[in-house]
Chain A
Amino acid sequence: MIELRGITFTPPDSSEHVLKDVDLTVEEGELLLVSGPTGSGKSTLLGVLAGLVPRFSGGVLEGDLMLDGASIVRTPPRERAGIIGYVGQDPVAGFVTDTVEEELAYGMEQLGLPPATMRRRVEETLDLLGIAELRQRSLRTLSGGQQQRVAIGSVLTTHPRVVVLDEPTSALDPTAAEDVLATITRLVHDLGTSVVLAEHRLERVVPFADRIALLVGDGSVAVGDPGDVLEDSPVVPPLVELGRELGWSPLPLTVRDARRKARALGYPVNRVSLNLSGNATPERCRKSLRSSGLTVTRGRTPVLHDVSIDLPAGRVTALMGRNGSGKSTLLWTLQGTQKRLAGSVDVGGKDPAILDPEERRTLVGLLPQTAADLLYLETVAEECDAGGPRTREILDSLVPGIPDDQHPRDLSEGQRLALALALILSADPPIVLLDEPTRGLDYAAKHALAAILRDLTDAGKAVLVATHDVEFVAEAADDVVVLADGEVVSAGDVRSVTAESPAFAPQVSKVFGPGWLSVREVVEAVGEG
């Protein structure tokens, strides 16, 4: 239906092709997953479909884009609106109106549909997405998952033939992500809409994909069935990694597949019981940070209610919970910037809340959600100079080989994160807090981040990471604290917490039972058995 023919894209001020001679056909009613490492051109490919590249990005686009045999490569995005629906990475940034109903109608108003049709389609879409009770709500008061569903709904009302989604679940907690993905599969099944979707966290979307377009990084693209493409893809979900390690063929794509396979092949994994208490009980560790009874209110609504959390030295603690459950607020409260109504924080006998910013930095380091907020200079070298004498040294130990003269904005997601982290670590705080650092990172960057955190804890620091990424938690964390509605609902060793709540269980533990966390563990156990 939609066909890319020899698409080549060269970004402005560059001679390297991000996309090179890409041929791709999007078929009627399929879910096409676009995957690949960070910076391999996933967003660019989606932008070409929507018409935003090169119109909004600059650069040179060659090749042709055909819709039912007619070229639309020169058609501006607004003229493609009725055929191709596009939802960007941050749904909130794309909202034009302020209530759910008006937002759903906006696209139809632009197309000039008659009011009766608009009325009907708004109702249909509200039901399709299961958000009928939100119709009058202001868009700002919705949760992340609801906002994402409204954003998808707002392009659906024009009845597009293709819906293009750029990382629709990257900012969402596991449950909200499942809701959004259920909505997307419903589109494909019930309406026959084609969906083109880019996503980093393959474990979430691979089970739903009909085909995968894999961008390897050199501009070329490999398209095919998920099983075939993932055979030798540089980015794979843990299940596929497991299948590869154990030599399974075909590769398991869903947890159900893998479970049946493991049982059929008679792996003794279920009988291997791991020591659930973990390698070191937290009680024995020295506490770097103690806090108790933390209560924070916004207006009259409590954001945190009587939260007590201790961070042991030398351990990584993961902070999990729904969007809006108070994770960021807790980090800022521990750091001291957020004023608390009650409770105490104690870092080596001092309370960061009553210190000035300079002293605070030497006690608690916090990497905020948007790491770019920290950066303001033109080159990496200038940033390092401004950050303090040891910043460059730290940066090189985190991610070696970032050139001095590069602009911080041009760094990859992972490099920029490392730069911001280096700026914070230059004050050498014993406590390091990170707010959603895994957003936008591919598997390789996440492994690198996990290694960095491990180095920090080996140096005796206490680390607290707020994240939605269960696979990252399984890999990097020692302990988990789960927040819900501003209260701690479970806390403890990562194995016991993931064993208790299936929503936070990584894929491996879904296959082999509670207690198993990583592919490596399983492979080792199988090797021994």
Chain B
Amino acid sequence: MSTLVREAAVARLPRDLHPVAWWVWAIGLAAYASFTTNPLLLLLLVGVAAVVVAARRGEQPWARAFRLYVGLALFIVATRVLFRVLLGAVPGHVLVDLPEIPLPEWVLGIRLLGPLTREALLAGLYDGMRLGVIVICVGAANALANPKRLLRSLPPALYEIGTAVVVAVTVLPQLAESVQRVRAAQRLRAGATGRVKRLRRFLVPVLEDALERSMALAAGMDTRGYGRTAGVPVATRRVTSALMLVSLVGLCAGVYAVLDGTTPGWLAASMLVLGVGAAAVGLRLAGRRVTRTVYRPDRWRWPEVVVALSGVLVAAAGWWVARDQVPVAFPGVSAAPEVTLTALAGVLVGLVPAVAAPVPSSSLVPEEAVA
């Protein structure tokens, strides 16, 4: 028994949690948010996300992104409310009696300004908050899990795509640097000053530089073995291609059937299952072609399970509240929103990772001064 306890403790030593676990948790919170417009529950969700981020984020640059996402969420809420004020027209308690701007006949059903009611304001606020909270949940996942490590968890068959994304992400800051350098350099010489020619003066060196860098990177990756493949029999390759085609057709048809309400449910479900199944087998087969291994793979241990499970539970609670406690999930704008114990408890489950997840390893190593 004691060895079990010790092993459990080992899994909680400082380390980076598997990125997929963080994403499952964050998507769970986002799912809850999408099931409700209750402002109290939404605020609680933001609180939960913020607490977990504060408790378990590392020192890396992406960890500081959370504030950016909060800003974006606030902006979304503000825009949503502003639009409600502009295109108001919800009857109810008038707060400010704004004059209506007369519009021509042909814009039927649209009113510009007009009396601003409390109901209109609240409806805009609730709606905006729902979207804002979803954005914050994505931000929380980004702050907690290294986006690049997440790409490393892709199935081997998608490895090349993952690398392409990583390279694109790294190249962007380099491009900005190159733009700055060329701009300064071009000011050192005389040359064309016309609008189009000036653009050329600046674009040509930047593009040449970008092209040279990408060639150097491609050469570097190639000489280090990127793109090595194991020999796969022709038959397997054909089967893989066929499976991929089937999965594409299945997924397209399935998604169409789900979105189009008139298609029978069984058809939608069976096409989706077929598509997903074929994709899974196809990816597995395609992965055999790839011979690479992973250095220090992220391991899936009990804290990962707990974190992911908490996310799933939050999502399930949200779904249940939306179905069984409709007035709590979608409060009217005329009365103060109410909450129930189950709805609150469902959100609070999301706090578990703040305790269960291990402290990130990077928070122990002080980031050295940038040279």
Report the Cα distance A372→B211, complex, angstroms: 13
- Does B181 lie within 8 Å of A370, measured CB to CB? yes
**B182 neighbours in A (Cβ, 8 Å):** 373
Contact with A along B209-247 (1 / 0, CB 8 A): 100110111111111111110000000000000000000
The answer to whether residues A324 and B371 also contact, given A78-B225, A95-B220, A388-B190 and a CB cut-off of 8 A, is: yes
- Does B185 lie within 8 Å of A158, measured CB to CB? no
- Does A366 lie within 8 Å of B188, measured CB to CB? yes
- Does A111 lie within 8 Å of B228, measured CB to CB? yes
Query: Does B196 sit within 8 A of A, measured CB to CB?
Result: no
- Does A110 lie within 8 Å of B224, measured CB to CB? yes
Query: Does B340 sit within 8 A of A, measured CB to CB?
Result: no
Report the Cα distance A102→B182, complex, angstroms: 31
At the interface with chain B, which of A50-58, A189-197, A496-504, A509-517? A50-58
**A426 neighbours in B (Cβ, 8 Å):** 189-190
Residue of B nearest to A135 (CB): B365
Query: Does B6 sit within 8 A of A, measured CB to CB?
Result: no
**A377 neighbours in B (Cβ, 8 Å):** 204
Residues of A335-379 contacting chain B, CB below 8 A:
335, 337, 357-358, 360-361, 365-368, 370, 372-377
Partner of A376, one of B204, B215, B222: B204
Report the Cα distance A220→B50, complex, angstroms: 68
**B201 neighbours in A (Cβ, 8 Å):** 376
Report the Cα distance A420→B182, complex, angstroms: 13
Query: Does A447 sit within 8 A of B, measured CB to CB?
Result: no
Contact with A along B258-296 (1 / 0, CB 8 A): 000000000000000000000000000000000111111
Q: How large is the interface on A (under 10, 10 to 19, 20 to 34, 35 or more residues)?
A: 35 or more
| Closest-CB distance, B151 to chain A (whole angstroms) | 11
Residue of B nearest to A142 (CB): B371
**A86 neighbours in B (Cβ, 8 Å):** 220, 223
Report the Cα distance A370→B185, complex, angstroms: 9
Interface centre among B209, B215, B221, B370 (most CB of A within 10 A): B221
Query: Does B208 sit within 8 A of A, measured CB to CB?
Result: yes
Query: Does B148 sit within 8 A of A, measured CB to CB?
Result: yes
Report the Cα distance A82→B224, complex, angstroms: 8
Contact with A along B175-200 (1 / 0, CB 8 A): 00000011011111111100000001
| Closest-CB distance, B210 to chain A (whole angstroms) | 11
- Does B188 lie within 8 Å of A368, measured CB to CB? yes
Residue of B nearest to A114 (CB): B293
Residues of A21-56 contacting chain B, CB below 8 A:
50-52, 55-56
Report the Cα distance A114→B295, complex, angstroms: 8
The answer to whether residues A81 and B184 also contact, given A95-B220, A102-B295 and a CB cut-off of 8 A, is: no
- Does A96 lie within 8 Å of B167, measured CB to CB? yes
Partner of B224, one of A93, A102, A155, A375: A155
- Does B223 lie within 8 Å of A81, measured CB to CB? yes
- Does A375 lie within 8 Å of B205, measured CB to CB? yes
- Does B219 lie within 8 Å of A52, measured CB to CB? yes
Query: Does B7 sit within 8 A of A, measured CB to CB?
Result: no
**B324 neighbours in A (Cβ, 8 Å):** none
Report the Cα distance A386→B201, complex, angstroms: 11
- Does A424 lie within 8 Å of B189, measured CB to CB? yes
**B336 neighbours in A (Cβ, 8 Å):** none
Partner of B190, one of A78, A111, A119, A387: A387
Partner of B189, one of A55, A85, A102, A374: A374
Report the Cα distance A77→B226, complex, angstroms: 9
- Does A386 lie within 8 Å of B191, measured CB to CB? yes
Query: Does B97 sit within 8 A of A, measured CB to CB?
Result: no
The answer to whether residues A373 and B220 also contact, given A81-B225, A111-B228 and a CB cut-off of 8 A, is: no
**A85 neighbours in B (Cβ, 8 Å):** 223-224
- Does B186 lie within 8 Å of A78, measured CB to CB? no
Partner of A361, one of B189, B226, B296: B189
- Does B223 lie within 8 Å of A77, measured CB to CB? yes
Query: Does A63 sit within 8 A of B, measured CB to CB?
Result: no
Partner of A96, one of B190, B215, B217: B217
Residue of A nearest to B187 (CB): A357
The answer to whether residues A387 and B371 also contact, given A77-B223, A112-B291, A136-B365 and a CB cut-off of 8 A, is: no
**B292 neighbours in A (Cβ, 8 Å):** 109-112
**B181 neighbours in A (Cβ, 8 Å):** 368, 370, 373
Residues of A389-439 contacting chain B, CB below 8 A:
409, 420, 423-424, 426-427
**A171 neighbours in B (Cβ, 8 Å):** none
- Does B167 lie within 8 Å of A88, measured CB to CB? no
Partner of B223, one of A51, A368, A386, A424: A51
The answer to whether residues A115 and B217 also contact, given A81-B224, A137-B368, A337-B187 and a CB cut-off of 8 A, is: no
- Does B371 lie within 8 Å of A94, measured CB to CB? no
**A55 neighbours in B (Cβ, 8 Å):** 222
Partner of A372, one of B189, B205, B219: B205
The answer to whether residues A373 and B186 also contact, given A96-B167, A110-B226, A386-B191 and a CB cut-off of 8 A, is: yes
Query: Does A206 sit within 8 A of B, measured CB to CB?
Result: no
Query: Does B297 sit within 8 A of A, measured CB to CB?
Result: yes
Report the Cα distance A55→B221, complex, angstroms: 13
Residues of A83-112 contacting chain B, CB below 8 A:
84-86, 88, 90, 93-98, 101-102, 105-112
- Does A423 lie within 8 Å of B190, measured CB to CB? yes
- Does B223 lie within 8 Å of A78, measured CB to CB? yes
| Closest-CB distance, B196 to chain A (whole angstroms) | 13
Report the Cα distance A360→B167, complex, angstroms: 38
The answer to whether residues A361 and B188 also contact, given A56-B215, A81-B225, A142-B371 and a CB cut-off of 8 A, is: yes
**B226 neighbours in A (Cβ, 8 Å):** 78, 96, 110
Interface centre among B170, B181, B189, B227 (most CB of A within 10 A): B189
Given contacts A301-B370, A368-B184, A387-B190, 6 further A-B contacts (CB under 8 A): A51-B223, A82-B225, A86-B223, A111-B225, A114-B293, A158-B225
Could you pull out 14 A-B pairs where Cβ atoms are within 8 angstroms?
A78-B226, A79-B228, A82-B225, A101-B295, A112-B292, A113-B293, A115-B293, A115-B294, A136-B365, A158-B224, A301-B369, A376-B191, A376-B202, A387-B190
**4 closest residue pairs by CB, A with B:** A94-B220, A110-B225, A81-B225, A105-B295
